[in-house]
Amino acid sequence: MRVFVDCDPGIDDALALAYLAARADVELVGVGTVYGNNSVDATTENALRLMELYGRPGVPVAAGAARPLVQPPQLAESVHGDNGLGGVDVPESKARAVAESAAELLVRLARSAPGEIDVLAVGPLTNLALALALEPRLPELVGRVVVMGGAVRVPGNVTPWAEANVHNDPEAADVVLGAGFDLTLVALDVTMRTLARGPWLDELAAVAGERAAYAHRFLDFYVGWYTPVLGERACAMHDPLAAAVLLDPALMTESARVPVRVELRGEHTRGLTIADLRSNAAEDERPPVTLATGVDVDGFLGRMLDALR
Ligand code: BDR
Ligand code: CA
């Protein structure tokens, strides 16, 4: 399986990359980076270091957008630490980012292997929207696209209605969700049910090896932020769940085919993801996406631990 990842590492992004890199059946054809959890300079540096840490030093890393299409960026140091990785120092990589932008790299790779490359997008969707502007046929040129973003029937995590990746660039998210990709949306509806809890974290701490040790250290910071929010020692596994759904679609136990739009103008609701859940939604002119509504949480957590072993 050939995968392009667009990300803003980011602690849970780092775990998603670990999940993909651990799988021998995954060829990582490129990593695009974007502002989000930190500046694009920081997320690019982190992606380069993580690829080396995870034994994939040759994967091209392309720096993407430094800001959303319309509004200023809002970074998330409080959740992911000053360096985006919970303040954990990952050794420097000898590799440098390629000269192309993330959008240019994705378009070139997709054109070179039509239908063969799947996309995992776990940051703000700015790079994908820019790639669509460069190549409007992108939905036909890539395979499956799995996006972590949005909150359909649950509260947001930045505002009462908006999830971080969509909140960071609502215009880009709306373009991508309506573009006609074979797209699966892994929203807070399922990621907030996919918690790494105390016993799983203890099991991870007992796993030998560098990969698990780093994951544990990254999660230490993340769990520190999540604990008062969740009322227990735990954290939500947003981006790794999206990676797992891309690689192992059977982990998605329930889904709905629905058109999804992003509210762009609401006074209090900008960034809200609206899925048309009515039974006659098929009449909607917007192409449907697959909204994940149920996942095998234990199956995922087991595979995540295996990936870090
Ligand atoms: C998403 O926002 C980011 O902070 C995380 O990395 C994840 O992609 C969750 O809302
Ligand atoms: Ca992310």
**Which residues are paired to 274 by β-bridges?**
261
Tell me the two tokens of residue 228: 């008062």
Contacts of 6 (CB under 8 A, 6+ apart): 31, 32, 33, 34, 64, 102, 106, 119, 120, 121, 122, 123, 127, 128
Measured between alpha carbons, how far is 262 from 275 in angstroms, rounded to an integer?
9
pLDDT tens column, 243-278: 999 999 999 999 999 999 999 999 999 999 999 988
Report, in angstroms and rounded to the nearest whole number, the Rg of the chain calculated over CA atoms.
18
| Mean pLDDT across the chain | 97
Report strand pairing: 252-258 vs 289-295: antiparallel
Q: What is the DSSP letter of 162?
A: B
Q: What is the pLDDT of residues 14-62, one digit of tens each?
A: 999 999 999 999 999 999 999 999 999 999 999 999 999 999 999 999 9
Q: Measured in angstroms, how far is the CA atom of residue 121 from the centroid of ligand 1? A: 11
Structure token digits, residue 290: 């697959």
Distance in angstroms (rounded) separating the CA atoms of residues 103 and 203: 38
pLDDT at 278: 85
Model confidence at 283: pLDDT above 90? no
Give the ligand whose atoms come closest to the C-alpha of residue 237: 1
Question: Could you tell me the pTM of the whole model?
Answer: 0.98
The pick from 39, 165, 168 for probing ligand 1's pocket by mutation, whose C-beta has the most ligand atoms within 8 angstroms, reads 165
Q: Are 295 and 243 in contact (CB under 8 A)?
A: no
Which amino acid residue places its CA nearest to atom 2 of ligand 1? 164
**What is the value of ipTM here, to two decimals?**
0.99
List residues near ligand 1 (CB under 6 A). Answer: 10, 12-13, 37, 76, 79, 122, 148, 157, 163-165, 238-239
* Closest to 69 measured CA to CA, from 114, 100, 37, 103: 103
- What's the pLDDT tens digit per position in 147-197? 999 999 999 999 999 999 999 999 999 999 999 999 999 999 999 999 999
The residue with tokens 């590492």 is: 9
Write down how long the chain is: 309
Give the angle subtended at the CA of 202 by the CAs of 149 and 22, to the nearest 5°: 55
**CA 261/CA 170 separation, integer angstroms:** 10
For the chain, the maximum distance between any two Cα atoms, rounded to a whole number of angstroms, is 54
| Domains in the chain: boundaries | 2-277+287-308
Ligand 1 binding pocket mutation candidate from 120, 229, 238, 241 (most atoms within 8 A of CB): 238
Please spell the DSSP secondary structure of 74-128, one letter per residue.
---HHHH-TTSSTT--PPPPS----SS-HHHHHHHHHHHSTTTEEEEE-S-THHH
Query: Which atom belonging to ligand 1 lies closest to the Cα atom of 157?
Result: 10
Q: What spacing in Å lies between the alpha carbon of 148 and ligand 1's midpoint? A: 8
Q: Is residue 284 helix, strand or coil?
A: coil
Q: How far is ligand 2, taken at its centre, from the CA of residue 295, in Å?
A: 19
Please give the distance, rounded to the nearest whole angstrom, from the Cα atom of residue 226 to the centre of ligand 1.
12
Of 75, 148, 169, 186, the residue with max ligand 1 atoms within 8 A of its CB, to mutate for a pocket test, comes to 148
* Whole-number Cα distances in Å, 3 to 21, 34, 167, 304: 10, 17, 25, 18
How many Å lie between the centroid of ligand 2 and the Cα of residue 110?
22
In this predicted structure, the answer to whether residue 217 has a pLDDT above a threshold of 80 is: yes
User: Check: CATH 3.90.245.10 for 2-277+287-308?
Assistant: yes
Residue 191, pLDDT score: 98
Nearest residue to 272 via CA among 195, 188, 197, 193: 188
CA-proximal residue: ligand 1, atom 10 (nearest): 164
Q: Mind telling me the catalytic residues?
A: 8, 238
